[in-house]
Structure 1
Amino acid sequence: MPSKSEKTAHLGQGDAAENETRKISTTKLGIIIFMSLFIDLLGFTVILPIMPKLLEFYGDQGSDSLYLAMKSSVESFRVLVGAPDTAKWNSVLFGGFIGSLFSLLQFIASPFIGAASDVYGRRPLILLTMIGVAASYVIWIFAGNFTLFVISRVIGGLAKGNVSLSVAIVADAYKLSERGRGMALIGIAFSVGFLIGPLIGAGFAAGAVPAVGVGEFFVAPALFALSMAILDILYMYCAFEETLIESKRAKSLFSTENNVFDLINPVSLFLFKAVPGVAPEEKRTMKRIGFIYFLYIFLYSGVEFTLTFLTYLKFNYNSMQQGKMFFFIGLVMILILGGYTRRRPTGTEKSTALSGIVLLMPGVLCIGFAQSATLLYTGLLMFAYASSTVVPSMTTLISVYGTESQKGSVMGVFRALGALARGLGPLSISAVYWSVDSETCYIISACAMLIPLALLATTKVKASPKQD
């Protein structure tokens, strides 16, 4: 009979073998998630540089009733906030309205997609949402009028669920002690995609890539986006295996304690009503983290949106110079996410998020008061640090809540709150920007960051991942 020490040694070897197997599987899964998000974002972001040209194209038609209605709304908003009546700002504000629409659609869809994935599994839902995104690109190819273009964006916004599902996949497969690295990997995929995709779009916008033989100028980028979507579908169909095992799936989409209204009502989402059966103390913490996340994204996305205004007015930056500025932010984010955030010790997610918010405040002030490129880029450096630390860390914090059969619902609600913030923040902060001077707007934004900072600092989070 083996001695106690021999048994212990054997168990230790077994644990080590199990951990090694898990490490290999999560490494492979991480590569799959990264590649899928990267391919998706190449197609998703290609439209960004050509958006002004698209709006100009649809505006020249002059007969689309939906375009005229949205133009009237943008004009009313411009007059209300006192923005100058120029083609450039009208285009930026119009793009902001469309971007807000897309975010609000994600706010509606994310909780449903997350909850459905808890019942039916991640794989069928992620493939289904990818097919929806591909369908939106098909409609874009034929969008000779603004109404069809908006329909394509509506379908794309409702189907865009791969990000929240990727987060749920990380929560499924990664141990708590590894989960922060998985969330950071999602952030890296985002940063690389947003770095390269717009460059491809800029090539289309500049005519560097010729259009397809017939059709409008947007047919070529739309076909590129569609090809990326199809590639992503094929890749995930062949490479991705289900991570939510049968025994841990939810029994139904709606329980006796929640209903469809809880998945679309903003108040219910802030209360996480779609995640029933959680202990009261844990539910309070979930609600607090969700509210902090909403406030942070609301302020952050608003400042990010107004960077275009500020750099044009203060530094006379053209589109190319602004593109270089966002390229700098994206490059710094990749370096921080890959070299710092992923390597942070487990259990430090809260302190990492706090450090990001703390640095964001002087960063915003540096940007707002910059009279030189040196001070501007100093502020952008701190802005990029916050971008690379706060969201991955807070996503890891919220991922420990709920049962194994509720991870999709938790992440769906969490992503929905962020989408709602991105839908409201840009237009709200730009209204402040044009109503007062830029320095005052950025002072207000920096000071407002004290609210999520104080709330997070005083939040007692659930047992940290280092205790896993």
Structure 2
Amino acid sequence: MSAVNKSAEDDGSFSSKVINIVFILLLLDLLGFTLILPLLPSILDHYAQTGDVVYESLQGVVDWFRDAVGIPMEKKYNTVLFGGLIGSLFSLLQFLASPITGVLADRHGRRPLLILTTLGLMSSYAVWAVSQSFSMFLLFRVIGGICKGNVSLCTAIVADLPCPKARNRGMAMIGIAFSLGFTVGPLMGAYFALRSRTTGGVFYQTPALLALAFSAADLLFIWFMLPETLTKDVKASSSECGDSRDLLSPLSLFRFSAVTKTKDSPSKERMKKLQVLGLVYFCYLFLFSGLEFTLSFLTHQRFQFTSMQQGKMFFFIGVIMALIQGGYARRIKPGHHIRAVRMAIVTLIPAFILIGLSWNMTMLYVGLALYSFAAAIVVPCLSTLVSDHGSATQKGTVMGILRSLGALARALGPVVSSSVYWIAGAPTCFLLSAASFIIPLALLRTAGKLKDE
């Protein structure tokens, strides 16, 4: 009995160590990734003034979309749309790269792939630091989109942990890293860009070099501190080569076909549940990213928010998310995750209604508080639920496909949402989005009825 207790104690100690390491390396990764967010409008203005040919050709695409949906010709809206176009490109590259990264991580281990993707990110930040043209800036985003596999790899590492409680805590800690990264990173980016201006250098160069430094620190941390969580026997048994179409076709990804076509594939019941959870994840992020994008339109149009006020608003959202994830989300017991996700999505319905109909700041911020509460719970809980599916040889593939579905949702959601916003108006857009949450709620009901055996 004492030997069993000792083994459980060792597992618990190892899991805690892995979770803490994953938290730090993901936080470093996200701090580097988010430094650019407040600088994007200034970067776009910078290239607009230089008369860059590539910039001008992409501006034509933005102008066509703006005319098609009736967006007013205003600099603020043009910047948001151009930034959204670049964001969609990044998400589409993530959609293509994440499943492949996951499969490779199942075959060769988490550490080698993390080292490879981090080296790729370092090269992208180096390109950004020396970029003198918009085409070089786009190259930086393309390399970053292909190599940004750290999030799906970190979720796969947490999914490797044997204890369900540890996996739940690990997913919540990943959520906290996201909240802190997206709260602190943009502030640092704005501060160091200001410092660069005062010293007479290119304003984005210091943030770019800082992102490179964060990525280099991440690489050293992975190299010296991160243990391999995928054992040799598991790696040896995951060397099957599936059909590449299963990793590139959207329909195959929604079906998790790369998981079903292996000797270790889950039972039909568990496979059905995995597919339903993937649909819930996609639907949620499609609607969520739509609000995230159109929120900038609404606050500027209705409340005349400046960039500083927008920053304060997102800081408010990030702080609430970090508090909820650190306090409530990581303590959700195994078996209660579907109920927690259902409660969070139900909370989003009044959140969207309050934000869409808000006529004063109190109403807006109450809606944002509810929105932040839900955002802190849904992704960590769904990630925990999905991590329970697939054998030990498939965790990277499963989490890579889930990340890919989320990236596709983030690429499509803003386009659809902003179109509805400008064609039908803000209240209609947000009310329709609120009503659309019935779809993931119905899917969750189906998932709850499916057995895990």
Using structure 2 for the length normalisation, give the TM-score.
Answer: 0.96
2:387 counterpart letter in structure 1: S
Match 1:249 to one of 228, 231, 235: 235
Q: Which residue of 2 aligns with 1:440?
A: 428
Structure 1 position 212, deviation (Å): 9.8
Are the counterparts in 2 of residues 178 and 346 from structure 1 also a CA contact under 8 Å? no
Equivalences for 1:233-382 in 2 at 5 Å?
233-249=219-235, 251=237, 254-255=240-241, 258-275=242-259, 276=261, 277-382=265-370
Looking at structure 2, the residues matched to 146 and 34 of structure 1 have their Cα atoms a distance apart, in angstroms, of: 33
Q: Which residue of 2 aligns with 1:27?
A: 16
- Map Cα deviations across residues 227-258 of structure 1 (whole Å, 9 max, x no partner): 11101101111100100001112546553xx3
Are the counterparts in 1 of residues 247 and 253 from structure 2 also a CA contact under 8 Å? yes
Structure 1 position 319, deviation (Å): 0.9
Q: Which residue of 1 aligns with 2:37?
A: 48
Secondary structure of residue in 2 paired with 1:404? coil
Q: Which residue of 1 aligns with 2:213?
A: 227
Structure 1 position 322, deviation (Å): 1.0
Looking at structure 1, the residues matched to 237 and 392 of structure 2 have their Cα atoms a distance apart, in angstroms, of: 12
Structure 1 position 463, deviation (Å): 6.0
Equivalences for 1:33-432 in 2 at 5 Å?
33-64=22-53, 66-205=54-193, 207=194, 209-210=195-196, 216-249=202-235, 251=237, 254-255=240-241, 258-275=242-259, 276=261, 277-432=265-420
Looking at structure 2, the residues matched to 461 and 169 of structure 1 have their Cα atoms a distance apart, in angstroms, of: 28
Higher alpha-carbon deviation: 66-75 or 114-123: 66-75
- Map Cα deviations across residues 378-431 of structure 1 (whole Å, 9 max, x no partner): 101110011111111111111111110000000000110000000111121011
Structure 1 position 455, deviation (Å): 1.1
Structure 1 position 273, deviation (Å): 1.0
Using structure 1 for the length normalisation, give the TM-score.
Answer: 0.93
Higher alpha-carbon deviation: 314-323 or 129-138: 314-323
Structure 1 position 210, deviation (Å): 2.8
Are the counterparts in 1 of residues 109 and 228 from structure 2 also a CA contact under 8 Å? yes
Looking at structure 1, the residues matched to 417 and 162 of structure 2 have their Cα atoms a distance apart, in angstroms, of: 37
Structure-2 change in CA distance of 1:252 and 1:28 (3 Å): closer
- Give me the CA root mean square deviation: 1.6
Looking at structure 2, the residues matched to 78 and 442 of structure 1 have their Cα atoms a distance apart, in angstroms, of: 20
Q: Which residue of 2 aligns with 1:5?
A: none
Looking at structure 2, the residues matched to 288 and 354 of structure 1 have their Cα atoms a distance apart, in angstroms, of: 14
Structure 1: stretches of 5+ with no match in the other structure: 1-10
Looking at structure 2, the residues matched to 102 and 425 of structure 1 have their Cα atoms a distance apart, in angstroms, of: 14
1:259 counterpart letter in structure 2: D
Are the counterparts in 1 of residues 52 and 134 from structure 2 also a CA contact under 8 Å? no
Are the counterparts in 2 of residues 112 and 412 from structure 1 also a CA contact under 8 Å? yes
Secondary structure of residue in 1 paired with 2:38? coil
Are the counterparts in 1 of residues 344 and 374 from structure 2 also a CA contact under 8 Å? yes
Are the counterparts in 1 of residues 270 and 451 from structure 2 also a CA contact under 8 Å? no
Looking at structure 2, the residues matched to 416 and 319 of structure 1 have their Cα atoms a distance apart, in angstroms, of: 31
Looking at structure 2, the residues matched to 308 and 17 of structure 1 have their Cα atoms a distance apart, in angstroms, of: 53
Are the counterparts in 1 of residues 269 and 451 from structure 2 also a CA contact under 8 Å? no
Secondary structure of residue in 2 paired with 1:42? helix
Are the counterparts in 1 of residues 355 and 363 from structure 2 also a CA contact under 8 Å? yes
Looking at structure 2, the residues matched to 107 and 68 of structure 1 have their Cα atoms a distance apart, in angstroms, of: 27
- Map Cα deviations across residues 308-360 of structure 1 (whole Å, 9 max, x no partner): 11111111111111111111110000110010011112210100100110000
- Map Cα deviations across residues 87-125 of structure 1 (whole Å, 9 max, x no partner): 110000000000111111011000000000000000000
2:243 counterpart letter in structure 1: N
2:112 counterpart letter in structure 1: P
% identical equivalent positions: 46
Comparing both structures, which one devotes a greater share of its residues to helix?
2
Q: Which residue of 2 aligns with 1:4?
A: none
Structure-2 change in CA distance of 1:84 and 1:460 (3 Å): same
Looking at structure 1, the residues matched to 35 and 398 of structure 2 have their Cα atoms a distance apart, in angstroms, of: 30
Are the counterparts in 1 of residues 254 and 405 from structure 2 also a CA contact under 8 Å? yes
Structure 1 position 15, deviation (Å): 2.5
